[in-house]
A and B are shown apart, each in its own frame.
Chain A
């Protein structure tokens, strides 16, 4: 099956810092999504981004499908940004076969 690798696995930053999280995937994908899992375990969908760039407040994401990677940018980090960020891909099309998840980047924002 497809391989999804995220880097770095762990990241510790001070409040106010910027960060870039990377997701590499081993095959062509039909869609790619970024999620944030908060310390209480809730998974929130951040971006649905099979290609191109999207922005939502302090967060933005870029997917370069031809080169098989996606980047998640977090600017002016806040403590509430802490948690695990997952990249997930659908390589079979139709959305009904489930996403394959990377292992995640564990982000800690210190005050």
Chain B
């Protein structure tokens, strides 16, 4: 079974803090993704990566950056957290044209 692991289930941070969300997959997938999910807005793609050290902007990249130094790990960085970044963050991975698998999600609250 594919396993996508997100480092934290719940996270509370203060406005202005730098926040790191970590995601690790164990299936040697080339592609990794970060989505955020908000009520009424559904799932929106923030960033994705199709190879080590490669990254592409999704639909809502503003205020975020990412890092992929190793194939199995994809990190989402909030450079200076703001209250409008309070959300559920979901990491996912797949290999080419294959089913997408999600982690359990990190519910981030910025106060």
Contacts and interface: CB of A to CB of B under 8 A. Distances in A.
Interface of A: 1, 30-31, 33, 35, 40-45, 48, 86, 88, 90, 93-104
Contact of A97 (B30, B48, B88, B90): B48
B82 to A, nearest CB: 22
A99 B50 CA distance: 14
A35 to B, nearest CB: 8
A48 B98 contact: yes
Contacts of B99: 33, 45, 48
Contacts, number: 59
| Size category of the binding interface on chain B | 20 to 34
B43 interface: yes
A43 B90 contact: yes
A46 B76 CA distance: 26
Interface of B: 30-31, 33, 42-43, 45, 48, 50, 56, 58-59, 88, 90, 92, 94-102, 104-105, 107
A95 B48 contact: no
Contacts of A33: 99-100
Nearest to B32: A96
Given A41-B88, A95-B31, A30 B45 contact: no
A27 to B, nearest CB: 16
A45 B101 contact: yes
Contact of A88 (B30, B98, B100, B104): B100
B105 A86 contact: no
Given A98-B48, A101-B42, A102-B42, A41 B105 contact: yes
